[in-house]
């Protein structure tokens, strides 16, 4: 029996907004967008996720366990193994999974580590519906502090003007920040972590 969701109700709205924006953007990008089932280059290498993302992943894993126990068991084993490999050089608190605020400490950490949610046989994400925000918006041109970034496999040979015209604005009102704060206040969990810790956390 699944436990009651700990996610704010507004998280559902956030996912709807981001997924709708991505669907519309994908249609605009067309063939320039190389993202396809089985393309999993972006699933290799550790990246930071919010506590809201972590909670969403845990609930996704619990749902998977209720419908496909062997797959869920495989995800849990991959997450446990990943955590063991990454623990010695974890840039933060390896007990809680809380990352250090020092961005430089994270630069060379786990660059070759596959995401535990990635099925190595199919190249598909076993927790796709519950994936973090970074995963949801990766591929199309997305603006950050460093400028307009895009997956290196996408928009190859495209003019800069065309790339700029396909910029994805997934969350124009920054609902994610508000939902994340709401979850942090409710749960007492703050800061960033990574997928392997999120999926091996019993909470």
The answer to whether position 1 is within a domain reads no
Tokens 């199309």, located at residue: 140
The answer to whether position 177 is within a domain reads yes
**What secondary structure does DSSP assign to 109-162, as a single string?**
SSTTPBPTTEETTTTEETTGGG--HHHHH-SS-EEETTEEE--TTSSTT--HHH
The answer to whether position 2 is within a domain reads no
How big is the CA angle at 42 (ends 93 and 157), to the nearest 5 degrees? 140
Q: For the chain, 203 residues long, give each residue's pLDDT as a single digit of tens.
A: 567 788 999 999 999 999 999 999 999 999 999 888 889 999 999 999 999 999 999 999 999 999 999 999 999 999 999 999 999 999 999 999 999 877 676 778 999 999 999 999 999 999 999 999 999 999 999 998 888 888 889 999 999 999 999 999 999 999 999 999 999 999 999 999 999 999 998 65
pTM: 0.91
Please tell me the total count of domains within the chain: 1
The answer to whether position 91 is within a domain reads yes
- Measured between its terminal Cα atoms, the distance across the chain in Å is 16
User: Could you list the residue range(s) of the whole structural domain that residue 109 is in?
Assistant: 10-198
The answer to whether position 120 is within a domain reads yes
The answer to whether position 87 is within a domain reads yes
CB 131 within 8 A of CB 22: no
């Amino acid at each position: 029996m699944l436990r009651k969701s700990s996610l704010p109700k507004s998280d559902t709205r956030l996912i709807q907004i981001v997924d709708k924006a991505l669907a519309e953007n994908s249609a605009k990008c067309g063939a320039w967008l190389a993202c396809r089932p089985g393309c999993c280059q972006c699933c290799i290498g550790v990246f930071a996720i919010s506590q809201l993302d972590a909670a969403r992943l845990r609930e996704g894993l619990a749902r998977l366990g209720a419908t496909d126990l062997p797959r869920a068991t495989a995800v849990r084993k991959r997450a446990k193994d990943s955590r063991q490999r990454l623990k010695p050089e974890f840039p933060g608190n390896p007990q809680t999974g809380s990352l250090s605020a020092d961005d430089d400490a994270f630069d060379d950490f786990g660059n070759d580590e596959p995401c535990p949610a990635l099925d190595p046989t199919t190249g598909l994400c076993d927790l796709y519906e519950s994936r973090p925000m970074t995963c949801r918006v990766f591929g199309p041109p997305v603006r950050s502090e460093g400028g307009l970034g895009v997956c290196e496999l996408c928009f190859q040979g495209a003019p800069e003007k065309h790339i700029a015209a396909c910029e994805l604005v997934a969350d124009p009102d920054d609902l994610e920040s508000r939902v994340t704060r709401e979850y942090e206040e409710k749960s007492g969990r703050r800061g960033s972590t990574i997928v392997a810790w999120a999926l091996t956390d019993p909470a």
